[in-house]
Chain A
Amino acid sequence: MKGKHKDILFGLYNDETELLDAVHTAHEDGLEIMDVYTPFPVHGLDEAMGLSESRLHIAGFVYGMLGIMTAFGFMTWVFTRDWPIIFGGKPYWSVPAFIPISFELTVLFSAVGMVVTFYVICGLGPGVKNPILHDRITDDKFCVAFETDGLAKDKIDGYRSFFSKTGASEVFEKNI
């Protein structure tokens, strides 16, 4: 949502069951929802909206693999190539002793990588200012938003009648 401003029409619902029904209705009526905003994760909403499954966990796996290879490869290089030292009569390449650090770096890379990826793909981060449609969306209101930029009036009226049909408690227009 950078640069270009756009017109938004959004309605607030008081309960997540109303919201889910509304989203299903919008789907049946073929209305294209811009986004849905809720104060907490509502289960079943992603299916109702037709959101695809997140692939964040795949990224986590890749980062984890990177971590284990970094740790194990580095320790192997240090103790067999760069500066081999005998500790306690064990072989240079003492694999069991490398397990704890390899494990820790797997977790570290995976966790840090996933968290950073999450913020980047969501466009969130320190100092980011996204437009807030309504102050109570993070409190107790469930919001369905449509983009109305350059749409004909009858189309926008269609959205309005959708909101009154599905029992939205309040409907607002906003330019963000």
Chain B
Amino acid sequence: MGHGIFVAPTRKPLVTGSKSYHDITEDICSPAEKAPSVAWVIGMLVSLGLVAFGGACLLITIWVGIGSWNLNRTIGWGWDITNFVWWIGIGHAGTLISAILLLFRQKWRTGVNRAAEAMTIFAVICAALFPGIHMGRIWLAFFIFPYPNTRGPLWVNFNSPLLWDVFAISTYFTVSLLFWYTGLVPDFATLRDRAKGMRKRIYSFLSFGWTGSAKHWQRHEYLSLVLAGLATPLVLSVHTIVSFDFATSVIPGWHTTIFPPYFVAGAIFSGFAMVQTLMIVSRKVMNLQDYITITHIEAMNKIILLTGTIVGCAYLTELFIAWYSGYIYEQFAFMNRAMGPYWWSYFGMMLCNVITPQLFWIKKIRRSIFWTFFLSIVVNIGMWFERFVIIATTLARDYLPSSWSYYWPSIIEIGVYLFTFGLFFTLYLIFSRVAPVVAIAEVKHILKYNGDQYLAKNREDYEAKTGVKVVLDEDKVTDDPNYEVDDQIDANDLDENN
């Protein structure tokens, strides 16, 4: 029987340390089974501190109204909508990793997809807060949903991009949550079967009675694949619709057809940067370096480089089109962005999004933990600037010079932003304590194809068969004498396994 396993010998291992299946279970489950580390407690205290301070600012916003912010009649959208778009964008990386990379059969996604999907869900929660409180009367937020009401019934405006946003983001949140939880169920079952007492009861509830039956796995794989197929256009639609909030208006600088692809690329760009920030800390604190390897980090840096370059092209295209349009208001909008009162945010955006990410062309930097961490923070700052430039700068100089204005956030607005940081990290820290941060079953599934000990064997088989000597960049490969690969590599298995 030819269960020949074959991997392109130039592939770098995605699981290092010659792990067995049981090692994988131990390594990934143990952070959820031990008492929290000091680093975790400190992180949690800082996050809760932000939640407390920001929560007070949030309550003031709700109690006093958005008069507690510094928005004015000219600049009606400020930090709130900037933060909304920023957080939504961050969420996109999770779906990209789990859905689009699944469709593209990118195996490195297995190391990071679970945490990235969790990040998506928490980021969408943070994002949804801003339009909610921006409405002013959050207790009337249900008005945005079309329900039979006593006002006619008078329906919501289905032609408005703001309402499309409501549908896009609530669908995105629901589908991401289902996708994430469905993947978690088998891993909760693993935790359940290792736990005792109260913990066993809790994980028993969470794992939905999962047994690992062959038929269930078969359906589970179908479900994951179709959900990935649905989530892929969904994630593209979400930021497209967010960009419609601007693009369908008649404000110079917003009314452009480039917005949808440019927003989606920017979303993936910032999302991957946030994944890097979180993963670099998580892999260290939770000892997951064998599962989230430098190869994973490098793969994500390549995506950051690609999407950062797309974003850079979009900025230049915008400038060119503004000039080429011959329309003075459009030309003024872009002159004003670069050289108006908010010139510093425009240059911050250009520096952080277009120039510094180009350092990732250098392999040493792409594979350096320090540089990756540093540049991921830079990208996040840059992408925040981008949204601020688009929103506040454009509004500050409208058609009527007598209304021109300048905007600076109040302490309350800054506090609300800090609240979302606190909330995001609190949720992430809780998640990292109660659930496997790496998808256990998925990593086990790729082990035979991407574990370092198997790659070595494959390489030998390949060399013996073809007579071509394979040179690996990084020879971390070890041999497992207990493992036997069939002598014959079955050509029929090649497609199936890769």
Interface string of B426-469 (1 = CB under 8 A from A): 00000000000000111011001000000000000000000000
* A41 touching B222 in the complex, CB below 8 Å, given contacts A111-B175, A128-B208: no
Q: Say whether A57 contacts B226, CB under 8 Å.
A: yes
- Which residues of B are found within 8 Å of A56, using beta-carbon distances? 219, 222-223, 226
* Chain-A contact segment, one of B47-55, B151-159, B290-298, B302-310: B151-159
Q: Say whether B230 contacts A51, CB under 8 Å.
A: no
Is A164 part of the binding interface, using a Cβ–Cβ cutoff of 8 Å? no
Q: Say whether A101 contacts B154, CB under 8 Å.
A: no
- Which residues of A are found within 8 Å of B233, using beta-carbon distances? 103, 107
Residue in contact with B211 in the complex, picked from A54, A79, A132, A136, CB distance below 8 Å: A132
Residue in contact with B230 in the complex, picked from A39, A42, A107, CB distance below 8 Å: A107
A41 to chain B, nearest CB (A): 4
- Which residues of B are found within 8 Å of A79, using beta-carbon distances? 155, 158
Q: Say whether A40 contacts B441, CB under 8 Å.
A: yes
Q: Say whether B174 contacts A112, CB under 8 Å.
A: yes
* A40 touching B444 in the complex, CB below 8 Å, given contacts A49-B214, A87-B159: yes
B91 to chain A, nearest CB (A): 16
* Chain-A contact segment, one of B132-140, B190-198, B351-359: B190-198
B443 to A, closest residue via Cβ:
A40
Q: Please, how many angstroms separate the alpha-carbon atoms of A15 and B211 in the complex?
A: 18
* Interface residue tally on A, bucketed by range: 35 or more
Majority-rule SS of A interface residues: helix
Interface string of A89-120 (1 = CB under 8 A from B): 01000100110110111011011101100110
Which of A17, A21, A43, A104 is packed against the most chain B CB atoms within 10 Å?
A104
Interface string of B182-210 (1 = CB under 8 A from A): 10011001101110000000001100111
Q: Say whether A54 contacts B219, CB under 8 Å.
A: yes
Is A20 part of the binding interface, using a Cβ–Cβ cutoff of 8 Å? yes
Which of B164, B440, B448 is packed against the most chain A CB atoms within 10 Å?
B164
* Chain-A contact segment, one of B19-27, B100-108, B115-123: B19-27
Q: Say whether B237 contacts A139, CB under 8 Å.
A: no
**Which residues of A approach B to under 8 Å, CB–CB?**
16-17, 20-21, 24, 35-46, 49, 51, 54, 56-57, 60, 64, 74-75, 78-79, 82-83, 85, 87-88, 90, 94, 97-98, 100-101, 103-105, 107-108, 110-112, 114-115, 118-119, 121-133, 135-140, 143
